[in-house]
Amino acid sequence: MKKKFNIGVIGLGYVGLPLALKLGKFFNVVGYDTSNIKVKNLKKGIDINKEVKKKEFRLSKKLIFTTDKKLLQKCNVYIITVPTPIFKNKRPDLRLIKNATEAIAKLIAPGDIVIYESTVYPGLTEEYCVPILKKFSKLDYNLDKKNSFFCGYCPERINFGDKKRKIGNINKLISGSNNQILKEIYFIYSKIINARIIKTQSIIVAEAAKIIENIQRDVNIGLINELAMIFDKMKINTQEVLKAASTKWNFLNFKPGLVGGHCIGIDPYYLNYKSKKMGIVPKIILAGRNVNEETVNFIYKKFLSLLQSKKLNTNKSKILALGCTFKENISDIRNSKALELIYKLKKKFQKVDVYDPHAQKFSNFTNFTKIKLKYDAIILLVKHNDFKNIEIKKLKKLTKKNSIIFDLHSLYPKKYIDGTF
C-alpha cells in the first residue's frame, strides 16, 4: 500500500503496550499515556506488568513513548486501548474512553482513522464516540477524505499471563466504517498478525462478537460454580465429577473458581446496560454473573466452616493467603475476587498474611523462603505456576499441628488438603 501510516497508540497498559511494540517494528508509532511514571519506565525498557521482555523494546525501533499529546499530531491513525471499567452500581464507566476520544478529536485531520480496541457494548463506537469526534474535530464522519474522519473497531484478544497466545498469533477481528478503510486497517494489522485476520461485516458486529466472547465464558463458569455449590452440599467432589463428565466428546470442561478481572467480570454489565436501553432485561447473562459474584461469599463461609471444625474459627487464628491477583501468572489485581476474599478475611481475623510473587505491593513477603511464621490455616486462591512448584511438604511446614490447608484449585494431592471447591 502506497499510503504512509503514522500511528498513535493511546493507552500503554496490558493491551496498548504489546500492540505499540509490535507496530513499532514496521511503522512510525507514538505510544501515548497520561502516566509520567509509566512512560519514564517504558523509555528505559521496563514493563512493570512483566508482560513484555526487554528484547521487544530493542526491536521496536520506530516507537517513541510520551505523555505529550502534541507528538500525536503527525499521526494519521489513532488506536485507543484504554480500559472500560464499571461504576459501583455496575453501570459502564466511560470516562477513560471519553477523555481519550476528546483528546484525539482535537488532533485528527481529514482522512484520519480512529480505531478502538477497548471492549465496549455494541454500538458504542458509532453512537457514543463518533459524535464526540465530530463535535471536537468539526469534521464529517465517513463521507469523503477531504472533509471526513473514519473509524474502525478491532478488539483486543490478549490473554494476560499467557506466554503462548501472544498478540501476533491470536486470530484478529477487524472492522471499518467503509470498505476502503477496512482495507487500510487490514494492511496495518497484517504486518503484526501471523494468525487469521477476520473482516467483520460492520463495526457493531465486531463489538458484539468481542463482548460475547467474554460473556459466554462467564456464564459457563457461573454454571460450574453453581454445580460446585450443589455438589458441596451433597458431599460430592466436584473435580472428580468434572473429570468423569469430560470423557464425553462434547462436554465443555470449565473449572469452578473466582471470576473477576477487568474483562470477564465487567463485560456482562456492559451488555446488560445496552440491553435494558433496548427494553430487554437479560436473564441468563445476569444469572451467571450473579453466581460468580456470590462465589466469594460461598468460599468464605466454607473456609470458616472448616476452621470451625477444628475449633480455629476465632479472631486470633493466623491465616496465610496464597495469591491475590485476578488470575494466575499476572500482576493485575483489578476487580480481583481473590483480593475481595482476603479483605473479608482481614475483617474477621487479626493476622492475615498474603504471599503473591506477582503482586509485591499486596504481598507481605518478597519470596516464599521469607515466610517463617506458623499458621492455623493456609488458603490457596490463585493457581500461579510459582505455587505449583512449591512442594506440599514445604507448605505443611508453615502450619501448626492442628491446622487446615484449603486448596481452591486442587493443585496439591487430596490427602494433604482439608478443603477445595
Ordered by where they begin, the domains of the chain are 6-200 (3.40.50.720), 226-416 (3.40.50.720)
Grid cell for residue 189: 494489522
Give me the pLDDT at residue 158, please.
Answer: 85
Grid cell for residue 352: 492475615
How would you write the pLDDT of the chain (421 residues) with one tens digit per residue?
778 999 999 999 999 999 999 999 999 999 999 999 999 999 999 998 888 888 899 999 999 999 999 999 999 999 999 999 999 999 999 999 999 999 999 999 999 999 999 999 999 999 999 999 999 999 999 998 889 999 999 999 988 777 788 898 999 999 999 999 999 999 999 999 999 999 999 999 999 999 999 999 999 999 999 999 999 999 999 999 999 999 999 999 999 999 998 889 999 999 999 999 999 999 999 999 999 999 999 999 999 999 999 888 788 899 999 999 999 999 999 999 999 999 999 999 999 999 999 998 899 999 999 999 999 999 999 999 999 999 999 999 999 989 999 999 999 998 999 999 9
The position carrying cell 445476569 is: 286
Give me the pLDDT at residue 211, please.
Answer: 96
Report which of 108, 117, 88 is spatially closest to residue 9, judged by C-alpha positions: 117
Q: Rounded to two decimals, what is the model's pTM?
A: 0.93
Single-letter amino acid code for the residue at 399 = T
Report which of 83, 78, 86 is spatially closest to residue 105, judged by C-alpha positions: 78
The position carrying cell 501471523 is: 194
Catalytic hit among 75, 129, 151, 263: 263
**Known catalytic membership, residue 129:** no
Give me the pLDDT at residue 145, please.
Answer: 81
**Angle, vertex CA 168, rays to CA 165 and CA 174, nearest 5:** 105
